Structure 1
Amino acid sequence: MPIERDRLLRLLANVWVNGTELHYFLIDGAEPQRKAVRDAFAEWKALPLGLNFTETTTRAASEVRISFDAADGSWSYVGRDVLGIPTTEATMNFGWDLTDDYGHTTALHEIGHTLGLPHEHQNPFSGIVWDVEKVYAYFTGSPNFWTRAQTESNVLQKFSTTEVDGSAWDPDSVMEYWFPAGLILEPAQYSSGLMPAGGLSAPDREWAKKFYPGSTPGPEVLVPFVSRPLSLGPGAQADFVLEPEASRQYTIATFGASDVVLVLFEDDGGTLRYLGGDDDSGTGLNARLRVRLLAGRRYVVRLRLYWAGGSGDTSVMYW
């Protein structure tokens, strides 16, 4: 498993803007396995979430590509990281049967990663104290055969409180691993093993809906050359509609010192097609897109504040 694939917390830099439509492509797999993936997407959506999941039969139109390679384990890239993966490659894999309860939880878990959720045991608020050498011995052995670096990345590493936003540790989270006896020293109650209940826990449901609220106010119209001031809280979002009167190159940018991601979509008959995005990645340099827009078309711009320690005072304009 490649290092850094897996990170109910939310990694601030990897969260989608609310209202995004994710297109997933099933590369192969028997029909019962494919149906299990569809059912898991539907369960996340039904919370409800402010994300849409649409299966596509065209690999090039997909942001999420799912394979069923039994020799490659189960894994997923995290959140918006999938946008950097070539369309020739999978962004998620399932390495075992998904038709039983454990398989269903696996499908929910890996889709959770695609939503931007990291492993729950890496929660900086968990208070887990590991028997580190036993953890290395367990995960470098069968059936995982991870390297020590992979074990560090997927299990032992705790995220900084500035990287994540979410609940106190939830040992029953769908994003939590199962751990055998002897790996956890503290809390003492888990020294005999940690066995999550399976499926989405109540905190999973609560926090996922907070991250991606199912209903949000409609977007406002953004007029060329008119700056729109914004004051956003951590994780908060603002949506705008652009309806250019001339076909030409435009610049869309934020001003100030807030850590935001800016994403542009074209409204294609009610379906929002991703055109591009920019993330200042905590540099305070603002987000900026240079793109050709066509007269008579409708576009949607979405901005989301990430870093909880950053200022939410900013403005957006296009010209």
Structure 2
Amino acid sequence: MAEKIKSLSTQVNDLATRLKYLETQVSNGRHSHDDSMSADGFGHFCALPEVPQRTFGPDVSAHRARLIQWIDKKWVNGTRLRYYFFESGSFAGGNDQTDLVRRAFEIWEDVGIGISFEEVTNIGEAEIRIGFLRGDGSWSYVGRDVIDVPGQFERTMNFGWDLTRDPRGVDTPVHEIGHSLGFPHEHQNPFAGIVWDEEAVYDYFGGPPNNWTRESTFHNVLRKLPAGSVEGSQWDPNSVMHYGFPAGLILSPEEYRGGLRPELGLSAHDIAEVRRFYPPLDDSRNPRLVPMRLETLTLEPAQQMNFTIESPVTDDYTIQTFGRSDTVMVLFEDVDGQLRYVGGSDDSGTSTNATLHVRLRQGRRYVLRLRLYLNYASGETAVMMW
């Protein structure tokens, strides 16, 4: 059984949500309709938006492509993700809905990670834009797709039913925020070994309350993720990123023929994975990147190096990596103690190197974050500014 790490306050709040749900059911009568639940108690499921699958040229080996797929939707560690709630119209949600989502962000932060979250009231500042359009399902774009795919004023996440009536409580928004952090559905892990009764799956998800097409059911349930998009061979049926399934859908493993219900909360594996990509950071320990000095990077795949930059003069600079490697680097400026995005470059899957052309101002502090996908040929990776 996966170990659960939850604060006492979180457990109390989860219990309160479930008690509220039960009280509502009793007051409305045993046969009242709850739009978050189906007759078997499983209810609505997350349906991810479909985005084009990334493809690679013939010069990219299978090993190189696998490592890129594993990392490319993740943020550079140290990113401050800003989220916005639509305040009017059909996308708006009540305070009871937004408060539950706020608590879900806190649950991820309380794990102790290098990613932080900030609620903003200007939609133009937000990477994560959250709506509550009823009947549109609950979903989120995955990781960096939130900036690469949707328009700046469109939703990147939606909750399509009353979260306060969902017996999964805060786990539903925790699940969607997990997608925004770059994590896929765990039941689609290619190492899960799940054998489905496929027609039963299509029938179940094609009926109420989900009413999915066969294409949507395949995309969100039956489709196996590329092996490169997950690390290792461990499957976690208790992950918060895993659906629960009623009896009759899973043929094997045999122990789940009677249904699979993940335990509530973040599992030990969830916590280990988010800390792997987003460990706590201390920028006061960053080495300095200075003009005309080559800095060699000794990194394993998915590891990150952070540099502090303080330009001696206001001038235009080029910052570039060197070596036959795939990297992503992002530059931030310290503005009143908050790091603000300046620019980024990702050379993964290409024969070029990550390059930034920026104007740096004297007296300002900048932080460069550089994550390695892999070195795909012999030699070292380095970075320099000039």
Unpaired runs of at least 5, structure 2: 1-47, 53-68, 87-91
Structure 1 Cα separation of the partners of residues 282 and 323 of structure 2:
25
- Structure 1 residue aligned with 2:11: none
Higher helix share: 2
**TM superposition outliers: structure 1 runs of 4+ over 6 Å:** 308-312
* TM-score after normalising by structure 1: 0.91
Structure 2 Cα separation of the partners of residues 309 and 141 of structure 1:
47
SS at match of 1:221: coil
The reply to whether residue 3 of structure 1 matches residue 69 of structure 2 is: no
Q: Is the CA contact (8 Å cut-off) linking 1:261 and 1:287 kept in structure 2?
A: yes
Residue 293 of structure 2 aligns with an amino acid whose one-letter code is V
In the TM superposition, 1:47-58 aligns within 5 A as 47-58=111-122
- Structure 2 residue aligned with 1:288: 355
- Structure 2 residue aligned with 1:95: 160
- Structure 1 residue aligned with 2:275: 209
- Within the candidate set 95, 104, 108, 1:40 is matched to 104
In the TM superposition, 1:49-198 aligns within 5 A as 49-84=113-148, 85-99=150-164, 101-165=167-231, 168-198=234-264
Q: Deviations over 1:28-49 (max 9, x none)?
A: 3111111111111001101111
Q: Measured at CA, do residues 166 and 274 of structure 1 come closer, stay the same or move farther in structure 2, by a change above 3 Å?
A: farther
- Structure 2 residue aligned with 1:239: 306
Q: Deviations over 1:125-151 (max 9, x none)?
A: 211122223222322333223333322
* TM-score after normalising by structure 2: 0.76
Q: Is the CA contact (8 Å cut-off) linking 1:45 and 1:51 kept in structure 2?
A: yes
Residue 172 of structure 1 aligns with an amino acid whose one-letter code is N
Q: Is the CA contact (8 Å cut-off) linking 2:82 and 2:126 kept in structure 1?
A: yes
Q: Measured at CA, do residues 94 and 282 of structure 1 come closer, stay the same or move farther in structure 2, by a change above 3 Å?
A: same
In the TM superposition, 1:300-319 aligns within 5 A as 300-306=367-373, 313-319=380-386
SS at match of 1:291: strand
Q: Measured at CA, do residues 78 and 310 of structure 1 come closer, stay the same or move farther in structure 2, by a change above 3 Å?
A: farther
TM-aligned CA deviation for residue 308 of structure 1: 9.2
TM-aligned CA deviation for residue 101 of structure 1: 4.3
Q: Deviations over 1:193-224 (max 9, x none)?
A: 11111221122122222221124562211011
In the TM superposition, 1:267-278 aligns within 5 A as 267-278=334-345
Higher strand share: 1
Q: Deviations over 1:256-312 (max 9, x none)?
A: 122211111111121011122121233343212222222222111101123597879
SS at match of 1:165: coil
Q: Is the CA contact (8 Å cut-off) linking 1:11 and 1:117 kept in structure 2?
A: no
Q: Measured at CA, do residues 167 and 115 of structure 1 come closer, stay the same or move farther in structure 2, by a change above 3 Å?
A: farther
Residue 129 of structure 1 aligns with an amino acid whose one-letter code is V
